[in-house]
Amino acid sequence: MVLDYGSKIGVIACSNGRQASRMAEYKALYKKLEDEYGIGVVEAKTIYASENSIFSGTPKERAHELHNLYGNQDIQAIFDISGGDVANQILPFLDFEWIRKHKKPFIGYSDLTTILNSIYTLSDMPGVLFHLGSDSLAEFERYFIKGEKVALKGDFMSFDNSLRGLLIGGNIRCFLKLAGTPYMPNFHHKILLLEAQSGDVSKMATFIAQYEQLGAFSRCKGLILGQFTEAEEKGIRPQIDTLFKEIGEKYQLPIFKTNQIGHAPHSIAVPIGQEISIKN
């Protein structure tokens, strides 16, 4: 999608509330969006955490504020600037038919993996895995202002050197919160994207085991592996890659590895619930 000059975006925190001490930082971000791109910002009431709390509101209140952003006809897209652990609290309170009716993309990353994939599953609405911040404005401009297509750079770790299909997934830990719920997408013929901010080899091994037990690897068309930040900082990423290579060999899955997707400031925006094509 492309945001034209004069467009408005909604901003919300459906996961952990933002600290009030960061208010000036966000106001400066909004001013940059207005000054450089002509983008106006409509803030939800559930942005900042209440005193002595991690929550910007109750699950029902956060869902209500998200509904309001969808219903606001002046808003073209919704950016969630939060992250953390509690986004899935709002899922039972979301009206997915309302979201389907008011077609506009939801954008977020990390813990917002739960909402992105739920909206795709139950509203058939694609979203974007991306974190809006002062350090990601170059990518914001590339994807949302110029409308440039995603061109992933990386290498195939096994089997085919091309991959084409509908993309689901996101954060490896947060996506698993949807297991056993009606919000989890069908893995059949999908490309599964996985990235992680934290987690050592043992955590990744148990996550991989759960995905396998869910039937993800036997049903999907292939994997895209993004950044595994903590593992890379500790020099243990090769051990995690070995675990995935074993999965690739077992299920004859193409696996594409890229450092463009994840929690780093240089991470690019990628569509969830839309087709993506990769060829080396």
Domain boundaries along the sequence of the chain: 8-145, 155-279
Catalytic site residue from 82, 136, 195, 267? 195
pTM tops 0.95: yes
Secondary structure E strands in 4-115: 8-12, 40-43, 75-80, 106-108
Q: Which fold has domain 155-279?
A: Glucose Oxidase; domain 1 (3.50.30)
Given a contact cutoff of 8 angstroms between Cβ atoms, the answer to whether 14 and 115 are in contact is yes
Catalytic, 136? Answer: no
User: What's the whole-number mean pLDDT along residues 78-92?
Assistant: 98
CA distance 71 to 53: 28
Q: Is the pLDDT of residue 122 over 80?
A: yes
Catalytic, 110? Answer: yes
Write the pLDDT tens digit of every residue in 135-190. Answer: 999 999 999 999 998 889 999 997 788 899 999 999 999 999 999 999 999 999 99
CA distance 3 to 76: 7
What band does 279 get if pLDDT is binned at 50, 70 and 90? confident
Catalytic, 202? Answer: no
Secondary structure E strands in the chain: 8-12, 40-43, 75-80, 106-108, 127-129, 155-158, 162-171, 190-196, 222-228, 255-257, 270-272, 275-279
Mean pLDDT score of the chain: 97
Catalytic site residue from 56, 110, 118, 267? 110
Catalytic site residue from 15, 56, 136, 263? 263
User: 8: which strand partners?
Assistant: 40, 75
CA distance 5 to 40: 9
3-state SS class at 151? coil
User: What's the whole-number mean pLDDT along residues 188-205?
Assistant: 97
Which amino acid does the sequence have at 142?
Answer: R
Q: What is the pLDDT of residue 151?
A: 87
Q: What is the pLDDT of residue 280?
A: 77
Homologous superfamily (CATH) of 8-145 is Murein tetrapeptidase LD-carboxypeptidase, N-terminal domain (3.40.50.10740)
Write the pLDDT tens digit of every residue in 208-241. Answer: 999 999 999 999 999 999 999 999 999 999 999 9
Q: What is the pLDDT of residue 150?
A: 86
Q: What is the pLDDT of residue 1?
A: 79
